[in-house]
Amino acid sequence: MATDILMPQLGLTMNEGTITEWAKKEGDKVAKGDLLFYVENDKAVIPYESQGEGILAKIVVGPMATAAVGAVVAMLVQPGESMPESPPAPPAAQSNPGAFSESTPVSPEPAVTEVPLAAGAAPSAAALSKEEHGGFVRSSPYARKLADKQRISLQSIQGTGPDGAVIARDVRSGAPSAAATTANTAAPPFSDQRLSRIRQVAAARLTESWKEIPQFTLSIEAHAQGLLDAQSAFAALDEKISLTALLARLTGAALKEFPLLNSSWLGDGQIRVFSAANISIAVDSSDGLVVPTLRGCGERGVRELNADLRELAEKARARTLSPEAMQGGTITISNLGMFGITRFRAIVNPPQCAILSVGSIVRRPEEYEGGSRFISTIEIGLTADHRIVDGAYGARFLAQLKRYIEHPVLALG
């Protein structure tokens, strides 16, 4: 019997998902546990493994198409079995009025080539879905068929037909804006692109943060020799401990005395203060910024934290982070030191109260006993929600963190 593969629900709030890429094609053998496709929800791109085995008979939801949770995205058959005549249409997500499926666009307007940017108050997932709905790609049916066959997203193609519609020649030339520009002088000297869902959600959250949260930034310079010495001590044991892991551990210690920075804004005059320091670590990935959670930074050993962090970063780069791995952060650390950035101002990641921005370790001269010497320094920034904490509170926290950075042994408590 043919088995339906359904759009998985990866995370409680997921109503629908976009299949960004199929790892198997129709006709491929599929074993249990084989990677089938990557699905993007509002939070992340997540690999989905086959729960059954057989032959991938039919892909119902193609690449870059969106379907409601529970909709049939593909069908498996057993060897020797033929495909059912017509695959069932993905069920309309009636329980989720905001969800939609690619196969039932209701409105061809407005033209898709516009990049919808979240405006105003925080758009819900449903609102974002609507935007995509309106973003139906104008194309000739044949262009759509060709693109589907070649597994090219219509959204990635610059149309040269009437009103920018994608027509067959655009798909054949395969080439987005640059090629289209040389082929057709009428093509505009820019390319309009659609943001990934992650980017759209991030845009909405950051806009919300920027508009809604009165946030202030402080920064402090610390001698970095203590950190470097700590790294060296581990290095002598042939262990490589990252600066971020060390800083996460020290931040966890400092937060014990400044718990208000380890909190969330609930609204209605309430905040939630967390007992454990679960630090969201900003990681740069091919999907953009992702923030896996490094748990228990106030309690656990730095070796353990370092191992966890390494695994999370690898998963982030391999796009295999689970939704759970990105939940539950109570404060964020963003380290851009590896790029040579010495200081920057971060934006609070709501509903968290605070974010730390870490710069690179630099050597600079310092006045010393009437003369001068070169020292290693690091600058730590703190951006915090002024509704929850005041500048002095933040300053005291930074001073404590500076002490721990300069003398990590103090963090032992």
Partner 1 sequence: MRTISFSDATLEAMREEMRRDPTVFVYGEDIVRQGGIFGQFKGLPDEFGDRVRDVPISETAIVGAALGAALTGTRPVADMHFADFIGVAFDELANQIAKNRYMFGGQTNIPLVIRAPDGLTNQAAAQHSQSVEGWIQNIPGLIVVAPSSPATAKGLLKAAIRQNDPVIYFENKVLYPQKGPVPEEEYLTALGKAEIRRSGKDVTIVAYSILVQKCEEAAKQLEAEGIDVEIIDLLTLKPFDRETVIESVKKTHRCVIAHEAVVTGGLGAEIAATIQAEAFFWLDAPIARVGAKNVPIPFSPIMEKFVAPQKEDLIRAVRRVLYREA
Binding residues (CB under 8 A) for partner 1: these are 140-145, 160-162, 167-168
Q: Is 27 left (phi over 0), alpha (psi -120 to 50) or beta?
A: left
Q: 12: Cβ–Cβ under 8 A, 6 or more apart, which residues?
A: none
Which residue's structure tokens are 């600079």? 364
CB of 161 to partner 1, least distance (A): 6
- Which CB atom, from 42 or from 102, has the smaller least distance to partner 1? 102
Closer residue to partner 1 in complex, CB, 142/210: 142
Q: Compare residues 168 and 289 and give the one whose CB is closer to partner 1.
A: 168
Consecutive H or E run containing 246: helix 243-255
- Residue 171 Cβ, how far from partner 1 at the closest point, in Å? 10
CB of 14 to partner 1, least distance (A): 31
Catalytic residue list contains 133: no
Cβ proximity to partner 1: between 167 and 279 the closer is 167
DSSP character string of 182-240:
HH-TTS-SS---PPPHHHHHHHHHHHHHHHH--EEEEEEEEE-HHHHHHHHHHHHTT--
Least distance (Å) between residue 160 CB and partner 1: 7
Minimum distance between the CB of residue 85 and partner 1, rounded to whole angstroms?
Answer: 18
What SS3 state is found at 39?
strand
- The residues, any chain, with a CB within 8 Å of residue 191's CB and separated by 6 or more, are 158, 176, 177, 178
| Catalytic residue of the set 28, 229, 390, 407 | 390
> Please, what is the minimum distance in Å from the beta carbon of residue 4 to partner 1?
24
Please pick, among 4, 34, 148, 386, the residue that the annotation labels catalytic: 386
Token pair in block for residue 338? 């590896």
Neighbouring CB atoms inside 10 A of 143's CB total: 24
- Residue 367's contacts (CB-CB under 8 Å, 6 or more residues apart) are none
Residue reference for tokens 């005549």:
85
In the numeric block, which tokens belong to residue 87? 């695959």
Query: Quick one: which H or E segment has residue 6?
Result: strand 3-6
Closer residue to partner 1 in complex, CB, 140/306:
140
Active site (annotated) includes residue 284: no
SS3 260: helix
Residue 278 CA from chain centroid, whole number: 17
Cβ closest to partner 1, residue 92 vs residue 168? 168
Q: Which residues are catalytic?
A: 386, 390
